[in-house]
A and B are shown apart, each in its own frame.
Chain A
Amino acid sequence: MDDRQQLRDLALNDKGFVFDPLTGATFSTNPTGLQILRFLQEGADRSAILAGLQARFDVRGDDLTRDLDEFVSTLRRQGLVGQDFGL
Chain B
Amino acid sequence: MNDLLPAYERPVLVRHARGAMNKFSRAASMQPATELDGVPYDRLLEAYGSPLFAFSERTLVQTYRQLEDAFATRWPRVRIAWSYKTNYLDGICRLLHQQGAWAEVVSGFEYDKAVRNGVPESRIHFNGPAKSEADLDKAFRGDAIVHLDHFDELALAERVARRLGVRPGVALRLNLATDGVPAWTRFGFNLESGEALSAVRRLIAGDVLQLVGLHCHIGTFIPEVGPYQQAARKLALFANLLRADHGITVDFLDLGGGFASHNTLKAQYLPGTEASPTFARYAEAIVDGLEALDVDPLERPTLVLETGRALVDDAGHLVTTVVANKRLPDGRRALVLDAGVNSLFTAFWYKHDVVPTAPVHGIPEPTILYGPLCMNIDCMRDTLQFPPMSPGEHLVFHHVGAYNVTQWMQFITYRPAVCLVGQDGQHALLRRRETLDDVAGCEELPAWIG
Per the bound structure, the CA–CA distance linking A32 and B8 in Å amounts to 7
- Chain B residues with CB below 8 A from A73, complex form: 327
The chain B residues found within 8 Å of chain A, CB to CB, are 1-16, 21, 23, 327, 331, 362-363, 390
Residues facing B in A37-87 (CB within 8 A) are 53, 56-60, 62, 64, 67-68, 70-71, 73-75, 77-78
Knowing A58-B1, A73-B327, the reply to whether A31 touches B15 (Cβ < 8 A) is no
A53 to B6, CA, bound (A): 11
CB-defined A-B contacts under 8 Å, sample of 21: A26-B15, A27-B16, A28-B16, A28-B21, A29-B363, A30-B11, A30-B12, A30-B363, A53-B8, A56-B5, A58-B4, A58-B6, A59-B8, A64-B8, A67-B11, A68-B11, A70-B11, A71-B11, A71-B12, A74-B13, A74-B331
A53 to B14, CA, bound (A): 20
Most buried by B among A27, A29, A30, A59: A30
10 more A-B residue pairs beyond the given contacts A53-B8, A75-B13, with a C-beta to C-beta distance below 8 A:
A25-B15, A32-B9, A33-B13, A58-B1, A70-B10, A70-B11, A73-B327, A74-B13, A77-B331, A78-B13
Question: Quick one: closest A residue to B15, CB to CB?
Answer: A27
CB <8 Å contact, B13 and A27: yes
With both chains docked as a complex, state the minimum distance between the C-beta of A10 and any C-beta of chain B, in angstroms.
11
Counting chain A residues whose Cβ lies within 8 A of the other chain, the interface size class is 20 to 34
Expressed in whole angstroms, the Cα–Cα distance for A11 and B3 within the complex equals 30
Please tell me which one of the listed residues A29, A57, A59, A75 contacts residue B14 in the complex, with CB atoms under 8 A apart: A29
Residue of A nearest to B2 (CB): A58
Is A30 in contact with B362, judged by CB distance below 8 angstroms? yes
A interface residue numbers (CB < 8 A to B): 16, 18, 25-33, 36, 53, 56-60, 62, 64, 67-68, 70-71, 73-75, 77-78
Contact in complex: A27, B6 (CB < 8 Å): no
Contact assessment for B7 and A78 in the assembled complex, using a CB-CB cutoff below 8 Å = no
Query: In this complex, what residue of B is CB-closest to A69?
Result: B327
Contacts of B23 in A (CB 8 A): 28
Interface contact B10-A32, CB-CB below 8 Å: yes
Q: Kindly report which residue of chain B lies nearest to residue A80, judged by CB atoms.
A: B13
Could you tell me the distance in whole angstroms from the C-beta of A5 to the nearest C-beta in chain B? 19
Which residues of the partner chain A approach B10 to less than 8 Å between Cβ atoms?
32, 62, 67, 70
Considering the complex, give the chain B residue whose CB is closest to the CB of A60: B1
Chain B residue, CB-CB nearest to A28 = B14
Is the CB–CB distance between A27 and B14 below 8 Å?
A: yes
Contacts of A62 in B (CB 8 A): 8, 10, 390
Taken together as a complex, chains A and B put the C-alpha atoms of A27 and B1 apart, in Å, by: 30
A28, A57, A67: the one contacting B5 at CB < 8 Å is A57
**Could you tell me the distance in whole angstroms from the C-beta of B159 to the nearest C-beta in chain A?**
70
- Quick one: closest A residue to B392, CB to CB? A61
Q: Which residues of B contact A58 (CB under 8 A)?
A: 1-8
B390 / chain A contacts, CB cutoff of 8 Å? 62
- Identify the closest chain A residue to B7 (Cβ): A58
- Given A58-B1, A77-B331, does the pair A29, B12 have CB atoms closer than 8 Å? yes
> Whose C-beta in chain A lies nearest to the C-beta of B14?
A28
A69 to chain B, nearest CB (A): 10
With contacts A29-B13, A60-B1 known, is A70 near B8, CB below 8 A?
Answer: no
List of B residues within 8 angstroms of A74 by Cβ? 13, 327, 331
Which of chain A's residues has its CB closest to B363's CB? A30
* A78 x B15 contact (CB < 8 A): yes
B8 touches A57 (CB 8 A): yes
Chain A residue, CB-CB nearest to B390: A62
Contact A57 B6 (CB under 8 A): yes
In the complex, A75→B13 CA distance in Å? 8
User: How far is the CB of B431 from the nearest CB of chain A, in Å?
Assistant: 34
| The 3 residue pairs across chains A and B that have the minimum distance between CB atoms | A33-B11, A57-B8, A32-B11
Residues of B within 8 A of A59 (CB): 8
Write the chain A residue with the least CB distance to B329: A77
A30-B9 in contact given A58-B1, A58-B3 (Cβ < 8 Å): yes
Complexed CA–CA distance, A31 and B1 (Å): 18
A25 to B17, CA, bound (A): 9
A27 to B331, CA, bound (A): 14
User: B7 near A29 (CB under 8 angstroms)?
Assistant: no
Q: Which residue of chain B is the closest to A37 with respect to CB atoms?
A: B13
Minimal Cβ-Cβ distance residue in B for A16 = B363
Known contacts A31-B6, A58-B8, A68-B11; decide if A26 and B327 are in contact (CB<8 Å): no
Q: How far is the CA of A71 from the CA of B12 in the complex (A)?
A: 7
A3 to chain B, nearest CB (A): 16
Q: What chain B residues lie within 8 Å of A53 (beta carbons)?
A: 8
Please measure, in the bound complex, the distance between the C-alpha atom of A43 and the C-alpha atom of B2, giving whole angstroms: 27
Q: Which residues of the other chain, B, contact A32 by a CB distance below 8 angstroms?
A: 8-12
Are A31 and B2 in contact, CB atoms less than 8 angstroms apart?
no
A67 to B8, CA, bound (A): 11
